[in-house]
Amino acid sequence: MKHYRLLVSVAAVLAFVVVVVGAFVRLSDAGLGCPDWPGCYGKLTPSAAAPQIARAVNEQGGTFGPVSLPKAWKEMGHRYLAGTLGLLILAIALIAWRRRRELGQSPWLASAIVLVVALQGALGMWTVTLLLKPAIVTGHLIGGMTTLALLTWLALAQRRYVEAPDARRLRGPAVLGLAVLAVQIVLGGWVSTNYAALACPDLPLCHGQLVPPMDFRDAFHVIRDLGMSADGQLLPLQALVAIHWTHRMFALVAATVLGWAAWRALRVAALRPLGILVALALALQISLGVANVLLDLPLALAAAHNAGAALLLVSVIVLNFFAFRGAAPRLRRS
């Protein structure tokens, strides 16, 4: 069904947009632009809530606090996009069940995506109502990336491809690459949600040292408030350094494993374009990470780094898809 295929493809693209816009909202400190959920001060739009927003701005002493009309629009814009994506995914699941014989595929993947999105909606609500707790915000990021990955797989499954038995040799590298990338994305999310991106302001060292003083106990204590340690004290700089340093060190592991997976793909003629895709996405992501540190985390580059992570995830998901299907990314003529 062409319409179903188009619907799934649109949902996958929209999921990518939602992930990037969500990162932009977080990085621009607009996550509490509307401190309730799902509306904005109980209204459908920030414009309708303008009096309440103006009162909040006055109480916080200006627009530099968490609430302002522009921040409210950023927050609600993300919610509108996420809501649209949720409706698309629900429609996809319903069609997958009703037309499962025509489609010739199991509807369970589409149903699983609905469950992920339901959890993602709850995490989005808790992100606001629990005042940006790092564990909740990181979980929200993981949910968004998981939705993107599953929709990418579902979109790929809607087309026909030529057989490529040699592609199965890449199952090990592809799975390992995906596992390592997943860990790195979680670590990156933990850096972002704890605002630790500039905790190490120099490269390749951190505060001029290979192993600077660090506080891992507070850094990776999951149940705590934003900017606070587990015992309610201000989170020390050494904890932020530990978060950033861990993400940076594991990036070396991720780059090595993903580079190896790309190299293995380049050795399989049918999957050579995918090897190039993974390699380019990896090089772009590393470059963006370095640029963010050297240029003191400009908003556009920080958002681009999140987009790069999503793009790298998509490329690795595509590699896994063809490796496990034993197929090549060329459409079979009907």
Q: What is the pLDDT of residues 228-280, one digit of tens each?
A: 988 888 999 999 999 999 999 999 999 999 999 999 999 999 999 999 999 99
Are 258 and 282 in contact by the 8 Å Cβ rule? The answer is yes
Short-list 63, 61, 72, CA closest to 35: 72
Determine the pLDDT at residue 287.
97
User: Across-strand partners of 163?
Assistant: 327
Q: For residue 221, give every residue at least 6 positions away whose Cβ sits within 8 Å of its Cβ, in sequence order, or none.
A: 229, 230
| pLDDT at 334 > cutoff 60 | no
pTM: 0.94
Handedness of CA 124, 125, 128, 129 (dihedral sign): negative
Structural domain spans, the chain: 1-159, 161-334
Report d(CA 20, CA 74) in Å as an integer: 12
99-103, 173-177, 289-293, 329-333: least confident range? 329-333
Type of residue found at 161: Y
Strands (E), 124-283: 161-163
Instruction: Catalytic residue, from 59, 75, 102, 163: name it.
Output: 75
* Catalytic residue flag (residue 75): yes
